Amino acid sequence: MLLSLALFWEAYVTIAAAAIALLLALSRVRACRSFARRALAGIVGSVPGVLLAQLLSVPLLAVLYAVLWLASRLMGPLEGSAQIAWNLAVIATFLAIPLILSLLGFLLGWRSGVRLAAGATLREALAASPALAVCARRVSPLRTWLENANRGAS
């Protein structure tokens, strides 16, 4: 489980670094500057989203592992093609859950990053997403005050 998460992060960081390098080059071209800015903000915003999704998948996978372990003890030993099918289903499930949650975290983080780049406060960017609205309520008033002070100073 942890190996699959580590391999995912290695691939994610490599692809993100290549995309950031390409977008930085595109930002030098006046016609592409707006697109590059939004895409860079999306990539930067997606990192916390994916990390949060990965962290949420670990307890889910632990509970799933316990349920599958109990089910395997209750079913008794499997033989032949039933054992192969069971093992493939377990492997596919343990790979699919972090992947699906990571894609969801990527999309939510991307949208929040783009909103932040457009000038929204952190609270507004998080509150715009129903899934992240809980996080928006937990943003401290001091941080919101600092963001508003920085916005006024610009």
Q: Could you read off the pLDDT of 23-51 as tens digits, one per residue?
A: 888 888 888 888 888 888 888 888 888 88
* Average pLDDT taken over every residue of the chain: 79
> How much is the average pLDDT of 104-130?
80
Q: What is the pTM of this model?
A: 0.68
Q: Which two tokens stand for residue 130?
A: 């129903």
Q: Is the pLDDT of residue 98 over 80?
A: yes
CA distance 114 to 13: 19
Q: What is the pLDDT of residue 34?
A: 85
Q: What is the pLDDT of residue 73?
A: 84
Write down the residue that tokens 């699919």 correspond to: 96
Q: Is the pLDDT of residue 154 over 60?
A: no
